[in-house]
Structure 1
Amino acid sequence: MTSTKPDSNVKTALRVIEIIEIFAREAKPLALSEIARHLDAPVSSCLALLRTLASLGYLYETGRRQGYYPTGRLLAMAQRISRADPILERVRPSLEELRDTTSETVVLGKLDQNDRVVYLEVLASPHPISYVGVAGSQRDIHANSLGKALLSTLDVQDRLKLLSARPLQKHNEHTLITPKAVEANIQASLERGWFANLGESMDDVGAIAWPVRVLGNNYAISIAGPLYRIEEHIDDKAKKLRAACRFIEQSF
């Protein structure tokens, strides 16, 4: 007799993550019916989840029939996890220095299991007009400066195989949508000393990146912001970026 319990557990875990993301996106208390609508799920199953999270101290009712909202327990747990990260703990000071010297948003990324770029850390620019990213965000590898930098760490054949595995999404007229075009861009980037996304995924947004190897694993760091600011003194920004990457590699 086949049990469906593992699939049920996975679905429940995904629902919990979705609930957390809904609260992060909506940024307000939500009624049971609202949460069920966002999840496109039955009210009964949502009620069971919410009651469980509330019993564990992760949610509370803001008032009778006024909705649920996360407690500080979730933030405290996230902060404890972040402080104990074996990579970020040692890399963050260099990322902060790079952010301060360039005054632009700095992102640390890595390839995930689906061959997409995942943001591991995002340090926001002090400018009121800046690139805004969130840790955990995923991006297409071919239209992202971090993605190109990470692709450069692979052998050419592995690179082309990865790029040919599925159609490359076109975000706008600047997006490179063939493996051959992306490969040519990577070769040019290696020669000039920086990988770029100059409006290829979002109009008027630019970024430059460089790979960094830490404890035998490939990461990449980018400097991102409004396109006009990224293109201004781009070689100087790239020099600071490569220096930060070298320092990080040497510190490990």
Structure 2
Amino acid sequence: MSAPSANSSVKTALRVIEIIEVFARAGKPLSLTELARELNAPVSSCLALVRTLSQLGYLYETAPRQGYYPTGRLQAMSQRIARNDPILDKVAPTLEALRHSSSETVVLGKLGSKDFVVYLEVLPSVHPICYVADPGAQRHLHCNSLGKALLSMHSPSERAKLLGKEPFKQFNEHTLTTFEALEQDIQRSNQQGWFQNLGESMPDVGGIAWPVSLLGGQYAISIAGPLYRIQPQLQNLAQQLRVACQSLSQRP
């Protein structure tokens, strides 16, 4: 395949994902003009994609000139995929139990692309005020509890490669922006028994995490929520988290 064709295929694939995300944000049918505006793309390009997705059964026209909306095919496919996920199937009961015992949001994460951690599963807290994220979300390693836990499973030289150049992106005055400061934080966290992000990336939001090996892969689990609920319970939540991770590591 030639370079131009490869680039074109990648752009088309990205555009399809963007269309799905646009509908998820809008929560309503969109006309071609509205879709093109949201995508910042020519109407002609959107028309070709919409026609293809409609022919494949992923979009339908709600009424003449009333716009398009996704069918249930996408949801059915995603549910089928989720049911066969080997990792989520293994950890689901433990994550549910951890959410129940902590009453906070529980997240399963893994190293993603570049210097990011990707959220594989998110079980939201029952509290009205809670940490909210979607599966597939990505966060910077250096200021995320999951990211720090995952970094701890690598050597200092490997961590340096994963993190890239200094200074790291600074979100506020609590963000660790140097490799040296992060290394000290990881060492301290290993000793105290949890990796933490207490307002380093989002004000008034805190999380603690611990690493876990699953089916030969490196993962981490976190408990996250408002700082005013997380900080007073650090020791208790960390104990629950370590027990859960240890239980998962011991399973075949």
Question: 1: CA distance between counterparts of 2:178 and 2:165?
Answer: 11
1:22 matched residue in structure 2: 22
Question: 2: CA distance between counterparts of 1:148 and 1:5?
Answer: 39
**CA offset at residue 14 of structure 1?**
0.6
1:239 matched residue in structure 2: 239
**CA offset at residue 66 of structure 1?**
1.2
Kept in 2, the 8 Å contact 1:164–1:179? The answer is: no
Question: 2: CA distance between counterparts of 1:228 and 1:103?
Answer: 14
**CA offset at residue 164 of structure 1?**
4.2
Question: 1: CA distance between counterparts of 2:166 and 2:177?
Answer: 11
Question: 2: CA distance between counterparts of 1:7 and 1:96?
Answer: 42
Kept in 1, the 8 Å contact 2:166–2:177? The answer is: no
Question: 2: CA distance between counterparts of 1:55 and 1:165?
Answer: 46
**Where does structure 1 lack aligned partners over 5 or more consecutive residues?**
none
**CA offset at residue 251 of structure 1?**
1.2
Aligned pairs, number: 252
Runs of 4+ in structure 1 deviating by more than 4 angstroms, as ranges, are none
**TM-score, scaled relative to structure 1:** 0.97
Look up the SS of the partner of 2:41 in the other structure. Answer: coil
2:55 matched residue in structure 1: 55
Change in 2 beyond 3 A, CA 1:71/1:164? closer
Q: Deviations over 1:24-54 (max 9, x none)?
A: 1111111111111111111001001001111
**Where does structure 2 lack aligned partners over 5 or more consecutive residues?**
none
Letter in 1 for 2:147: G
Letter in 1 for 2:67: G
Look up the SS of the partner of 1:7 in the other structure. Answer: helix
Letter in 1 for 2:227: L
What are the equivalent positions in structure 2 for 1:1-252 lying under 5 Å apart?
2=2, 4-165=4-165, 167-252=167-252
Q: Deviations over 1:51-99 (max 9, x none)?
A: 1111111111111111111111111100000010011111111001000
Question: 1: CA distance between counterparts of 2:58 and 2:19?
Answer: 11
Change in 2 beyond 3 A, CA 1:25/1:167? farther
Q: Percent identity?
A: 63
Question: 2: CA distance between counterparts of 1:166 and 1:35?
Answer: 39
Change in 2 beyond 3 A, CA 1:45/1:211? same
Change in 2 beyond 3 A, CA 1:14/1:164? closer
Change in 2 beyond 3 A, CA 1:166/1:22? farther
**CA offset at residue 159 of structure 1?**
1.6
Question: 2: CA distance between counterparts of 1:240 and 1:114?
Answer: 30
Question: 1: CA distance between counterparts of 2:92 and 2:52?
Answer: 35
Please give the root-mean-square deviation of Cα atoms over the aligned residues, in Å.
1.3
Look up the SS of the partner of 2:250 in the other structure. Answer: helix
Look up the SS of the partner of 1:4 in the other structure. Answer: helix
**TM-score, scaled relative to structure 2:** 0.97
Letter in 1 for 2:63: G
